[in-house]
Chains A and B, each alone.
Chain A
Amino acid sequence: MADGRDNHAESRAESQLKSRAESWDGDGSASVSRLAWIASGLGLLLFLGSVGVLGYEGVTRGNGAPAISAELEEVVPAGSRWLAHIRVGNDGGTTGAKVQVEGQLMAGAEALETSVAEFDYVPAGSHQRGGLFFDRDPRAHELRLRVLGYVEP
């Protein structure tokens, strides 16, 4: 009985070996379907591509502190108030989290009105958009935008 099982296993191993040899002996590439080649080729491309992009980014971006700046995009009426669209960009090497941006409407040295917006994340090399609401028309005053601070994510 034990012998019989051994023989069976042997013949199966043999047939496996045979199948391996045959498929890769001659024209090995032809034995795998074209779809399998396309799928695995695409996989290899995506794999090397993403590792490459990430590696390149890691080498070139560095680990400098976030360098975050805010600029005014446009002012639009929002009901009885005004909305100043702002754009916050980060030219530094790392991401800033909880980035607070303050906008003040100035009359000379005096601040008439102050509004604050907080951005959850401003990734390195990226920019985010937000808005500040004011009771007065920001276009009639000087709007001073300041990035107050961030925390490391």
Chain B
Amino acid sequence: MDIARPISMTRQRTLLHDETHFARALARAAAGAVIFALPLLMTMEMWELGFYMDRFRLALFILVTLPVLFGLSYFAGFEETFCWQDDLIDALSAFAVGFLMSAVLLSVFAVVHLDQPVPEIVGKIALQSVPASIGAMLARKQLGQRDDADKERRIRSSYPGELFLMGAGALFVGFNVAPTEEMILISYKMSPWHAVALAVLSLGVLHVFVYTVGFAGQENAGDDGFLSVFLRFSVAGYGIALLVSLYLLWTFERTAGLSMMELVTATVVLGFPSALGAATARLIV
């Protein structure tokens, strides 16, 4: 049946549809899952959160992961995709790889063993599968060879697409530090003036990255001027980073019992790595 197809399309289509190629992509995804999730796989708080965090918040977190994976597949993905069904296959495969790699590593680390109750095992693995599956998705860009398809992808990216990428970057980098006790500890140590300084620093770093990395849709930055780029990318990006930070703190139950001032400070503290993630999303994805 392949014979009848025009050559122009088969080159791209075969990538997802050829068994050996897909197997290689899966192996690359597994490597990406391990490399990107390793810091979290070896973080004590992650294991503990896996069994004590609120079940609904964890379930919601897993639910949120799938659209993020889907979006990342659209923009990066470990396979080149040209329709939404392919993106869905990509996203689900990345989740499978992330889940299985987390299960294997947590078992080898003896964090998970069979005499634990099922919900505890599922909770620990499911929580880890979030960064692992995002890592699996990013593997294509980081470990794979780059080709013409990247140009294709640039065309796809629009302003909402850039905002999504910044959100995904903020989620990924923010997630890497959000489970640790230090997020709250640092915010306890800081005075309000420290928090203001950190917020200004985050925004400044974000803007420098936005300018130097060169976001798509920003090619005509010269015409738009400083203020437009600053408002459209840097301020919007920092806003997204803060929202993602607040969501992560809520998910990991770090918000309970905090006063408004402490909550804002903690959000700003986590907002710093999240802003860096948002700023460098273009580099990673």
Chain A interface residues (CB < 8 Å from chain B): 15-16, 18-20, 22-24, 28, 30-37, 39-44, 46-47, 49-51, 53-55, 57-58, 61, 94-95, 97, 120-121, 123-126, 153
C-alpha spacing A32/B81, complex, angstroms: 12
Among A28, A33, A47, A58, point to the contact of B55 (Cβ < 8 A). Answer: A58
Tell me what chain A mostly uses at the interface: helix, strand, loop, or mixed: helix
Count the A-B residue pairs with Cβ separation under 8 angstroms: how many? 141
Kindly state whether residue B169 has any CB partner on chain A within 8 Å.
no
Q: A39-B92, A55-B55 are in contact. List 14 more A-B contacts (CB 8 A).
A: A19-B82, A23-B17, A36-B22, A36-B93, A39-B89, A42-B92, A43-B96, A46-B100, A51-B62, A51-B63, A58-B59, A123-B51, A125-B120, A126-B120
Among B56, B85, B97, B119, point to the contact of A39 (Cβ < 8 A). Answer: B97
Interface residues of B in 54-94 (CB under 8 A from A): 54-56, 58-59, 62-63, 66, 82-83, 85-86, 88-94
Kindly state whether residue B261 has any CB partner on chain A within 8 Å.
no
Among A15, A18, A46, A125, point to the contact of B119 (Cβ < 8 A). Answer: A125
Kindly state whether residue B146 has any CB partner on chain A within 8 Å.
no
Among A39, A54, A95, point to the contact of B59 (Cβ < 8 A). Answer: A54
Mark each residue of chain B from 200 to 216: 1 if its CB lies under 8 Å from any CB of chain A, else 0. 00000000000000000
CB distance from B197 to the nearest CB of A (A): 32
A58 and B9 contacting across the interface, CB-CB below 8 Å? no
Kindly state whether residue B189 has any CB partner on chain A within 8 Å.
no
B56 and A55 contacting across the interface, CB-CB below 8 Å? yes
Tally B residues with Cβ within 8 Å of A. Answer: 51
C-alpha spacing A15/B13, complex, angstroms: 11
C-alpha spacing A23/B125, complex, angstroms: 36
- Given known contacts A19-B9, A23-B13, A33-B17, is B62 in contact with A54 (CB within 8 Å)? yes
C-alpha spacing A53/B86, complex, angstroms: 27
C-alpha spacing A64/B104, complex, angstroms: 33
CB-CB under 8 A from A125, the residues of chain B are 117, 119-120
CB-CB under 8 A from A22, the residues of chain B are 5, 9
B51 and A95 contacting across the interface, CB-CB below 8 Å? yes
C-alpha spacing A124/B6, complex, angstroms: 59
Among B19, B52, B63, point to the contact of A34 (Cβ < 8 A). Answer: B19
A-B CB contact pairs (8 Å), 5 listed = A43-B91, A43-B95, A51-B63, A54-B126, A97-B52
Among A19, A30, A49, A121, point to the contact of B52 (Cβ < 8 A). Answer: A121
C-alpha spacing A61/B58, complex, angstroms: 14
Kindly state whether residue B48 has any CB partner on chain A within 8 Å.
yes
CB-CB under 8 A from A126, the residues of chain B are 51, 116-117, 120
Q: Which residue of chain B has its CB nearest to the CB of A31? A: B17
- Given known contacts A16-B82, A20-B83, A33-B16, is B55 in contact with A46 (CB within 8 Å)? no
CB distance from A146 to the nearest CB of B (A): 23
- Given known contacts A39-B26, A50-B99, A55-B55, is B92 in contact with A44 (CB within 8 Å)? yes
A20 and B82 contacting across the interface, CB-CB below 8 Å? yes
B66 and A53 contacting across the interface, CB-CB below 8 Å? no
CB distance from A17 to the nearest CB of B (A): 9
CB distance from B175 to the nearest CB of A (A): 17
CB-CB under 8 A from A41, the residues of chain B are 92
CB distance from A25 to the nearest CB of B (A): 12
CB-CB under 8 A from B118, the residues of chain A are 53
B123 and A54 contacting across the interface, CB-CB below 8 Å? yes
C-alpha spacing A30/B125, complex, angstroms: 32
CB distance from A21 to the nearest CB of B (A): 10
B62 and A35 contacting across the interface, CB-CB below 8 Å? no
Kindly state whether residue B43 has any CB partner on chain A within 8 Å.
no
A15 and B56 contacting across the interface, CB-CB below 8 Å? no
- Given known contacts A19-B13, A23-B13, A36-B16, is B22 in contact with A121 (CB within 8 Å)? no
CB-CB under 8 A from B129, the residues of chain A are 46, 50
Which of B82, B85, B100, B119 has the most chain A CB atoms closer than 10 A to its own CB?
B119
Which of A16, A31, A43, A125 has the most chain B CB atoms closer than 10 A to its own CB?
A43
